[in-house]
Amino acid sequence: MSVAKYRLVLLGAGQVGSHLAHRIDECPELELVQIYSRKFASVQALAETLSREPSSTDSLGEVVYDADYYVFALSDSALTTVWAQMPKTRGIWLHTAGSVPLSAMQPYHGSSGVLYPLQTFSRSRCLDWTKIPIYTEATSPELLGNVMSLASMLSPNVHHASSEERQLIHLSAVFVCNFANHLWALGEELMMQQGLDPKTLQPLIEETCAKMLAMSPREAQTGPARRGDRMTIERHLDLLREVRADLIPLYTELSDSIQRMYNI
């Protein structure tokens, strides 16, 4: 009979929490004993989708005392509130946030650490955890060993990063994920605004992604700013003045940034 090595409590049933719960559920060496969320309906709905159903609670007072890990997958703003209201527990407390320093958690529980999965989580997406880099940190080298051993059960791609490094990784992630996605939303919006089908941009977006993964984005850069094509840039600014003047500073900032990168 195989026995779970670590018993976990998960706090948070949002996008990150849901994906973590499913990943933990897949690992025979891990046992998710309890999930907490302020919203009982969300936590119960999540618990029911797991093959080994944990207990559910919406009360921090009911959180079990003797798990090995307490994983806080909550919004940055909820973290300190929840930590302040947590009962005393054994085990290691971990948060999953890119930009929250470990020092913000330590006053609430000495044995604490970070398990930051570098990925964009949406409930409707199926993710391959073997490809997700996990950045870990802990209050002592011994604890770090424990946290890295837990992380390696979730993904083979485990690293250590200081709070400063993790924040920089999170900032980079905002550029490559959130901001890139926003440019796609803006491109589609521009098309729709003029009655054009935004779906026709998709082959271009697909090739943009495929190319950059094959070549590196620095080499893959094309377009008027990269070519130093002032005439086209001016034409685009004239057009934006007519259709979306609010986007002029963004267009200019991005074109200037490209020209600075390539000394054009």
Shortest Cβ 54–a copy of itself spacing (Å): 26
User: Binding a copy of itself by CB under 8 A: which of 45, 60, 102, 229?
Assistant: 229
Nearer to a copy of itself, 3 or 214 (CB): 214
Shortest Cβ 256–a copy of itself spacing (Å): 9
Which range binds a copy of itself by CB under 8 A, 30-38, 59-67, 82-90, 186-194?
Answer: 186-194
Within positions 195 to 214, which residues make up the interface with a copy of itself, using CB under 8 A? 196, 200-214
Among the residues of the chain, which ranges form H helices?
Answer: 15-26, 40-48, 76-85, 141-154, 163-173, 180-193, 202-215, 217-220, 224-227, 230-243, 248-261
Choose among 103, 117, 98: nearest CA to 159.
117
Within positions 109 to 138, which residues make up the interface with a copy of itself, using CB under 8 A? 118-122, 124-125, 127, 131-133
Choose among 61, 46, 24: nearest CA to 153.
24
Rounded-to-integer distance, Cα 213 and Cα 211, Å: 5
- Contact criterion met (CB below 8 Å) for 36 and 54: no
Shortest Cβ 108–a copy of itself spacing (Å): 17
Residue type for 33, please?
V
Q: Encoding tokens for residue 203?
A: 């082959």
- Rule CB under 8 A: say whether 250 interacts with a copy of itself: yes
Nearer to a copy of itself, 85 or 181 (CB): 181
To which residue do tokens 């920089």 refer? 168
Nearer to a copy of itself, 91 or 98 (CB): 98
- Rule CB under 8 A: say whether 189 interacts with a copy of itself: yes
Nearer to a copy of itself, 2 or 194 (CB): 194
Residue type for 148, please?
M
- Rule CB under 8 A: say whether 167 interacts with a copy of itself: yes
Any bridge partners for residue 6, and if so which?
Answer: 30
Shortest Cβ 242–a copy of itself spacing (Å): 9
